A and B are shown apart, each in its own frame.
Chain A
């Protein structure tokens, strides 16, 4: 019986390694979004800044737009932020969803780092995040003119992701409408 206790570490370790091996086979950046080709869930979020408009799901339509989920406590978002600012400068419409974050902290983050968003909604309870299937921040949804999710990027958008994947998709969506 006692020797079974000594066997425990190696058994646990085997399970961990198996999980790693499976995890390694998956790219954490490619996640099937259950929302793919479906309309955005309905939400109506308050603003992060006083006197600002919030963000409603009905705002995100009319033309292909990006919906970027961020938070002031998220380190990767700070790395992604300059890319978003550059996209805004090129006229790409981006809306922001400040996830699990205090509105004031989100507002400070935007003052500090610049504001790439057309509209920003605050989702402090994280409910809308759950509806959207948000796993972590940053995440970015490409939404078409009819308000349907067409693509989901997990993790920061790098300039490479933009030129290779997201820009061509948005061009196609724009041409289609």
Chain B
């Protein structure tokens, strides 16, 4: 019964999404308030029915109803409850349902809270959201129905891919999807603005929190994904430039650009068409990410549901939505150039430069990811693009960006003066140069990227500190006055310092671990000791343990020396009989200054156990920095500024000749 209810709920949701799109777009163009109200109700009802469908699928998993094909494939009676729940979005169909659910909830949120928007603007936003909803619910129903029944009913199910049986699965996909799909709101706002032909500060004020929230979720999602890969793949890597990692990284890069350009639009009324273009591109890259994972156009470790028919459907969705939006942009945007002027040396100028670098960086990742596809179109050769490509193209683009990220928050709006700017940034610059010299002496010229990374990381953190110190006027006024200023500092200021400082922490982590990591591979027997990066690792014991649905060879190690006293680490080599797969659970001693990473392999013929040990200095800073950046995003989102009454003031139609986006 539950499966049929879910199925009907999905079909109803499809019909409601069509009504939503039709009523909103038609109502807005006729200025018909009643029709737009119908559209709003359809939006809310659609969210309710999609949620019902999702609830049904979750219930089917929790009750292990093997008469449903999807459940039988990804769950079995021994699978722990939490992974049965996680399996709801661990498969292609389930994850698309989650995608649609988040889309519907966001649409509902705009319908409920969008009262301060112009009525036709809200209607058009929801209309575009309705079109997106209809397209993706249709995709679910017609190509990837999660509720298909199975005859005959199997006695027990298959298994969720053991690599996915990890707490990471419970958090990573939903958070990432919250980010991907959140960009759909920015997209809908961009298309609505193009239809209306006007953009005002209220528009930017509405779009920015959505972009910020998406960026926040993407940051957390990517950080969590990197950490998950680090501890679950068992060989100590934290970023692989895998196509699917790139698929989440590209929207993040563009969301970062969009976040900044929308700030300029909101504060200064400049970069209008540029911001709209970024909003369209950022969501399009989310769609491309979806396409990538599900079409089989590239092979990847993440790939699931490799099915060309689904690929064609999603490609059609991308072609129609992005294509129409960009065509609309080409048609309407030239008439909208109403940007305010600014001097090249100003926050606006800095952000424009930042946007260009971010766009170029995105382009290099895009090219690297899809180069194999493009090459195949023109020749019969096939190629792969690996880390060396990114080291040569992406990293050189990021280094100036990091320099700029330290400078930007210390610049003034409109017009800055080179001399006073130089005086302002003197201290972080001096500290950065000291770090540069120290790192150069430490690493030698052979590791130039690590040297520059260290210096830039220190520069970013120092300049982020300076943002706060300047705000509090430390050294200029008394301590009491500074403390009062510190208490009165708006969250938005903290947000900038944390986000930019967090980027510095991540940069230090990446530079540190790539320069200093050491590893050893050896066969160990119980009681044996080995030295690693100034620490001593002892293999205490090896035994067989049984989990709920696996058997494991478990090894216990003690790490002594270094900071923090003796620590016990446990690494397991697990075997899942149902799917006949092995996984490795690494034993990781996390520490502020670095990790000890141990992963055990199989027993060797001489009775020893193959052990791989890594010393990873500063690796935790990579994720720590990511979380600090995310915290910055969260504080910015919590800042009271958003809740101020929105003034519906049109951007002055400037007659100035020079476009802001030039």
Contact = CB atoms under 8 A, between A and B. Distances in A.
Interface of A: 2-3, 6-7, 9-10, 13-14, 16-17, 19-29, 31-32, 73, 75-76, 78-79, 82, 108, 111-114, 133, 135-137, 154-155
B297 interface: yes
A111 B522 CA distance: 8
Interface stretch (B43-51, B380-388, B542-550): B380-388
Contacts of A24: 295, 297, 308, 311-312, 315
Given A9-B280, A111-B521, A136-B384, 10 more contacts: A13-B322, A14-B323, A17-B315, A21-B315, A24-B297, A28-B299, A32-B380, A76-B301, A111-B610, A155-B299
A97 to B, nearest CB: 15
Interface string B383-403: 110110000000000000000
Contacts of B582: 82
Contact of A3 (B327, B330, B521): B330
B277 A17 contact: no
A28 B384 CA distance: 11
A75 B229 CA distance: 11
Nearest to A155: B299
A17 B318 contact: yes
A10 B329 contact: yes
Given A20-B315, A23-B377, A13 B323 contact: yes
B240 interface: yes
Interface string B562-583: 0000000000000000000110
Main secondary structure of the interface of A (DSSP, over half): helix
A10 B315 contact: no
A82 B601 CA distance: 12
B334 A28 contact: no
Contacts of B281: 9
Given A17-B319, A19-B377, A6 B330 contact: yes
Contacts of A14: 323
B99 interface: no
A9 B329 contact: yes
B365 to A, nearest CB: 14
Contact of B383 (A9, A10, A136): A136
A108 B330 contact: no
A28 B298 contact: yes
Contact of A73 (B322, B386, B521): B386
B181 interface: no
8 contacts: A9-B326, A13-B284, A17-B315, A24-B297, A28-B372, A32-B380, A135-B382, A136-B382
B333 interface: yes
A154 B299 CA distance: 10
A113 B235 CA distance: 10
B168 interface: no
A73 B299 contact: no
Interface residues of B, number: 53
A29 B300 CA distance: 12
A167 to B, nearest CB: 17
Contact of A9 (B233, B242, B277): B277
Contacts of A16: 370
Nearest to B229: A75
A113 B372 CA distance: 29
B158 interface: no
B196 to A, nearest CB: 17
B166 interface: no
B124 interface: no
B334 A6 contact: yes
B244 to A, nearest CB: 11
Contacts of A26: 376
A78 B382 contact: no
Contact of A23 (B297, B299, B326, B519): B297
Contacts of B327: 10
Interface in B260-318: 273, 277, 280-281, 284, 291, 295-299, 301, 308, 311-312, 315, 318
A28 B323 contact: no
A79 B234 CA distance: 12
The 7 closest A-B pairs by CB, nearest first: A136-B384, A10-B326, A135-B382, A23-B373, A3-B334, A7-B330, A6-B330
Contact of A113 (B318, B387, B601): B601
B4 interface: no
B306 to A, nearest CB: 9
